[in-house]
């Protein structure tokens, strides 16, 4: 029970398939950590100078990631688990590369922009995979109350993927 005056939602600990419940919770913690990390990285990128269009793309993605973070916190409540994050080796590698790019002064802003677009795409594809996995597992577990929230996050990541591609195509060489 999360709140003494509020009945507990469906607990993952009580689910009949504990292996599936653990997978769902681990994936939820992982995507939560990814969204938090994404917000930090986008903050680093926003401190750099870019074209107006590129700055709008980064700012928009930060806004989406903040919304996702709030949605994920709601999911933790819905499955009656404390909010936690995990950071796997794949995310740590992407984050390390992002911090190196942010710290490094590139000879050309175009090269820097291209490297950041690549990283945004890495994060975006990773997040799409995580949300897809959570949807699959959540559906198998019958967690109907979380499906709409996961679909909302997945849909906005797919739209963000298109925006990243469109913004990248606007770069001039």
- What confidence tens digit (pLDDT) does each residue in 23-73 have? 999 999 999 998 998 898 888 888 776 667 778 888 899 999 999 999 999
Arithmetic mean of pLDDT, 145-156: 95
Domains: count for the chain: 1
Domain range enclosing 140 = 21-82+107-169
Decide if 16 is inside a domain: no
Reading the block at residue 152, the tokens are: 């909302």
- Residue range 150-164: average pLDDT? 94
The pTM score is: 0.85
Do the domain assignments include residue 100? no
Instruction: Tell me if 111 is assigned to some domain.
Output: yes
Give the Å distances, CA to CA, from 30 to 21, 92, 96. Answer: 14, 11, 17
Q: What is the mean pLDDT of residues 106-130?
A: 82
Q: What is the CATH number of the domain that holds 37?
A: 1.20.1260.10
**1 located within any domain:** no
Q: Output the average pLDDT for the chain.
A: 84
In a domain? residue 102? no
Whether residue 15 lies inside any domain: the answer is no
- Which pLDDT score is estimated for 1? 45
The whole-number pLDDT of residue 165 equals: 84
Query: Cα separation of 88 and 138, whole Å?
Result: 21
Predicted confidence at residue 62, as pLDDT, reads: 92
Q: In this structure, are residues 109 and 41 in contact, taking their beta carbons and an 8 Å threshold? A: no
Would you say residue 64 lies in a domain? Answer: yes
């Amino acid at each position: 029970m999360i709140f003494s005056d509020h009945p507990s939602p469906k607990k993952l600990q009580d689910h009949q398939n504990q292996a599936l419940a653990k997978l769902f919770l681990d994936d939820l913690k992982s995507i939560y950590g990814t969204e938090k990390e994404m917000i930090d990285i986008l903050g680093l990128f926003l401190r750099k100078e870019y074209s107006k269009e590129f700055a709008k793309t980064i700012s928009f993605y930060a806004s989406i990631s903040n919304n996702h973070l709030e949605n994920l916190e709601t999911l933790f409540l819905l499955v009656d688990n404390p909010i936690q994050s995990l950071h796997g080796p794949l995310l740590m590698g992407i984050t390390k590369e992002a911090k190196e790019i942010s710290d490094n002064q590139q000879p050309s802003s175009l090269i820097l922009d291209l490297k950041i677009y690549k990283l945004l795409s890495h994060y975006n594809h990773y997040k799409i995979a995580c949300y897809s996995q959570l949807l699959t597992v959540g559906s198998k577990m019958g967690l109907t109350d979380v499906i709409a929230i996961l679909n909302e996050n997945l849909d906005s990541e797919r739209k963000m993927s298109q925006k990243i591609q469109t913004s990248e195509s606007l770069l001039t060489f």
